[in-house]
């Protein structure tokens, strides 16, 4: 048997009318005027499509600018690193030694040429100097020769004196300030009655200490009342720092010369030699124990 025919659904004319009315609604809304009486224009999707390529080009331009900036920074860093490595590779002490050797070689060459020509070298060299410069040079060379003779260690007193003289080389005495302070103290002592200013027959003014309190003696304690200025204190601090840096530098050079760049494991030279002897005999047996101690895994 064939199935019964499907029943036809009946549609109301009102539904078809409403559907036909909804289709042209958008067109009608486009033609309707707005609140201000002007007709509403249709929105077009073309500006949005144009804004996307524009945003992409802006991002690409920023990216290229960042790339150029990174490249410039890397080139600058490479140049600075190259200059720094060259500066560190250049030893100032070695350059000074090379310059000194060059001057010595030039001096010997000039002396040999002068003597070969039958002339007096010292007399020819003195033509370029004044009398004052020549006297200063002779005095300097004499002092240098005397220092070379006394460079060997004799006793601790002489060594202390030598160190003290080296420290005095860096002391810059302000004689103007010293004379000014001295004059102020003399005037103050003369006003208080501690000093008498007497004029001699030659017209020279002499200060006489009446009660013996102005001029310092072995028992004087007036120097404790002196208050140095800030510049003098800073100069003293800088001198102490310089001495400490020099001491550490000498110690480091001495340790590097003796092969002691690592940790110090001795208290004196005898103990150092004993430790070295122990290392020669027992290092191969205690290597594993020492490594485990360093790793912290020893139980």
Distance CA 78, CA 70 (A): 12
Mean pLDDT, residues 45-68: 76
> For residue 81, what are its two tokens?
């690193």
Co-location of 235 and 209 in the same domain: no
| The pLDDT of residue 51 | 65
Tens digit of pLDDT for each residue in 103-119?
Answer: 889 888 888 888 888 88
What sections of the chain are H helices per DSSP?
13-22, 25-31, 46-89, 92-116, 121-125, 131-149, 156-168, 175-192, 230-257, 269-295
Q: Is residue 37 part of a domain?
A: no
CA-to-CA distance for 173 and 176, rounded, in angstroms?
9
Give Cβ neighbours of residue 186 (< 8 Å, ≥ 6 apart). Answer: 195, 207
State whether 202 and 239 are in the same domain: no
Residue 43 lies in a domain: no
Between 121-125, 147-151, 224-228, the lowest mean confidence (pLDDT) is in 147-151
242 and 272 inside one domain: no
pLDDT of res. 245: 92
Which pLDDT tens digit goes with each residue over 169-215? 877 778 888 888 888 888 887 787 777 777 787 877 777 777 666 66
Q: What is the mean pLDDT of residues 95-104?
A: 85
According to the model, what pLDDT value does residue 14 have? 47
43 pLDDT more than 80: no
For residues 270 and 298, the model is more confident at 270
The verdict on 260 and 288 lying in the same domain is: no
Q: Does one domain contain both 103 and 147?
A: yes
H-type helices in 90-174, by residue range?
A: 92-116, 121-125, 131-149, 156-168
Higher pLDDT, 47 or 219: 219
Residue 36 falls inside a structural domain: no
Residue 8: is its pLDDT beyond 60? Answer: no
Pick from 185, 207, 186, 204: nearest CA to 196: 207
Q: For residue 43, what is the DSSP state?
A: P
The 10s digit of each residue's pLDDT in 18-38 is 445 444 444 444 444 444 454
Q: Are residues 97 and 147 in the same domain?
A: yes
Q: For position 237, what pLDDT does the model report?
A: 92
Q: b vs e for 63-75, b when ≥16 Cβ sit within 10 Å of the residue's Cβ? A: eeeeeeeeeeeee
Name the pLDDT band for 7 (thresholds 50, 70, 90): low
Tokens of 268: 């004196």
Per the structure, the count of domains in the chain is 4
On whether both 257 and 272 belong to a single domain, the answer is: no
d(CA 120, CA 103): 20
Give the pLDDT score at 153: 66
Q: How confident is the model at residue 241 (pLDDT cuts 50, 70, 90)?
A: very high
CB 286 within 8 A of CB 294: no
Tell me the average pLDDT of the chain: 75
pLDDT reported for residue 259: 65
Domain that holds residue 98: 93-151
* 175 and 144 fall within a common domain: no
Query: CA-CA distance, 79 to 63, in Å (whole number)?
Result: 24
* Of 115-119, 250-254, 260-264, 279-283, minimum mean pLDDT range: 260-264
- When mean pLDDT is compared across 19-23, 47-51, 183-187, 228-232, the lowest value belongs to 19-23
Domain-embedded: residue 18: no
144-170 confidence digits (pLDDT tens): 877 776 666 677 888 888 888 888 887
Closest CA to 243 of 158, 149, 166, 128: 166
Claim to verify: residue 147 and residue 99 sit in the same structural domain: yes
Residue 32 lies in a domain: no
Pair (180, 207) in one structural domain = yes
278 or 147, higher pLDDT: 278
On whether residue 242 sits in a domain, the answer given is: yes
Q: List Cβ neighbours of 34 (8 Å cut-off, separation of 6 or more).
A: 40
β-bridge mates for residue 39, sequence order: 33
* Res 18: pLDDT: 46
- Looking at residue 157, its pLDDT comes to 85
Q: Is residue 160 part of a domain?
A: no
pLDDT at 247 over 50: yes
Q: Is residue 254 part of a domain?
A: yes
């Amino acid at each position: 048997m064939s199935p019964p025919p499907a029943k036809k659904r009946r549609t109301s004319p009102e539904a078809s009318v409403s559907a036909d009315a909804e289709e042209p609604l958008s067109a009608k809304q486009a033609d309707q005027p707005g609140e201000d009486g002007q007709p509403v224009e249709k929105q077009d999707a073309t500006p949005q499509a144009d804004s996307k390529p524009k945003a992409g080009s802006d991002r690409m331009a920023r990216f290229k600018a960042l790339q150029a900036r990174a490249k410039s920074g890397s080139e600058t860093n490479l140049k600075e690193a190259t200059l720094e490595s060259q500066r560190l590779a250049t030893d100032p002490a070695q350059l000074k030694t090379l310059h000194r050797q060059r001057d010595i070689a030039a001096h010997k060459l000039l002396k040999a040429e002068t003597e070969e020509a039958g002339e007096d070298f010292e007399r020819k060299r003195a033509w370029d100097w004044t009398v004052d410069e020549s006297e200063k040079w002779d005095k300097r060379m004499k002092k240098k020769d005397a220092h070379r003779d006394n460079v060997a260690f004799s006793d601790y007193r002489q060594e202390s004196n030598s160190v003290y003289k080296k420290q005095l080389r860096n002391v810059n005495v302000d004689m103007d300030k010293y004379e000014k302070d001295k004059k102020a103290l003399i005037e103050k002592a003369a006003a208080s009655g501690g000093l008498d200013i007497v004029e001699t027959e030659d017209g020279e003014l002499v200060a006489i200490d009446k009660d013996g309190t102005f001029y310092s003696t072995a028992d004087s304690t007036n120097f404790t009342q002196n208050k140095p200025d800030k510049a003098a204190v800073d100069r003293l601090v800088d001198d102490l720092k310089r001495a400490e840096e020099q001491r550490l530098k000498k110690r480091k050079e001495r340790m590097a010369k003796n092969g002691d760049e690592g940790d110090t494991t001795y208290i004196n030279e005898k103990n150092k030699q004993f430790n070295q002897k122990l290392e020669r005999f027992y290092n191969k047996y205690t290597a594993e124990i020492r490594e485990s101690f360093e790793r912290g895994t020893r139980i």
